[in-house]
């Protein structure tokens, strides 16, 4: 049920928000973030650059969300998605700040990919037979688009996957 609510919310936000200023305000944009717009850590998870971006993210969210929501239960799945997604956004903010200060790049990060990669990392820890394949999938979805000239927040994918893996490991340890 949570998975479907997340998908519905992402689709709704996509169709409601269609202007550049709102993308900059709700996406993870370092210029606004440095001014105290900290809600971007959460709001950026519901913004998407285009319909293809939205569709691909929602397909993967559906795939892993259904499995993990059944395994963890609704509340724990909800917490994993949001806490993991916010941690991933925070790590991405540090990278974006670095890119801004050192490389003079101003990037606006949008998409549920980081939170979804948290789910993939969590699943990779839980199902050891899937770990290698999921690592390859994360690397492909992170770097192949870059070689094709498509902007992608590869660092959010990596941060999300590692975060999910660590959260699963911590869960197992408790």
Active-site amino acid positions: 113, 157
User: CA distances (Å), 125 to each of 40, 77, 156, 159, in order?
Assistant: 28, 15, 18, 15
Q: What torsion, rounded to 10 degrees, do the Cα atoms 91, 94, 100, 101 define?
A: -160
Residue holding tokens 């770990």? 131
- In eight-state DSSP terms, residue 65 is H
Residue holding tokens 């990779």? 124
CB 153 within 8 A of CB 111: yes
Q: Which long-range contacts (CB under 8 A, 24 or more apart) does 101-107 make?
A: 106/29, 106/30, 106/31, 107/29, 107/30, 107/153
CB 59 within 8 A of CB 120: no
């Amino acid at each position: 049920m949570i998975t479907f609510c997340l998908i519905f919310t992402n689709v709704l936000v996509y169709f409601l928000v269609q202007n550049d200023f709102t993308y900059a305000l709700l996406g993870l944009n370092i210029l606004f973030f440095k001014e105290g717009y900290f809600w971007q850590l959460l709001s950026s998870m519901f913004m998407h650059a285009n319909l293809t971006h939205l569709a691909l993210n929602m397909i993967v969210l559906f795939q892993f969300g259904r499995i993990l929501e059944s395994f963890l239960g609704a509340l724990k799945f909800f917490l994993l998605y949001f806490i993991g997604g916010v941690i991933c956004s925070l790590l991405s903010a540090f990278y974006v700040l670095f890119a801004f200060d050192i490389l003079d790049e101003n990037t606006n990060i949008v998409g549920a990919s980081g939170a979804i990669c948290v789910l993939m990392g969590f699943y990779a820890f839980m199902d050891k037979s899937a770990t290698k394949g999921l690592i390859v999938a994360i690397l492909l979805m992170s770097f192949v688009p870059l070689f094709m000239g498509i902007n992608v927040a590869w660092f959010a994918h990596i941060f999300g996957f590692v975060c999910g893996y660590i959260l699963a490991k911590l869960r197992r340890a408790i």
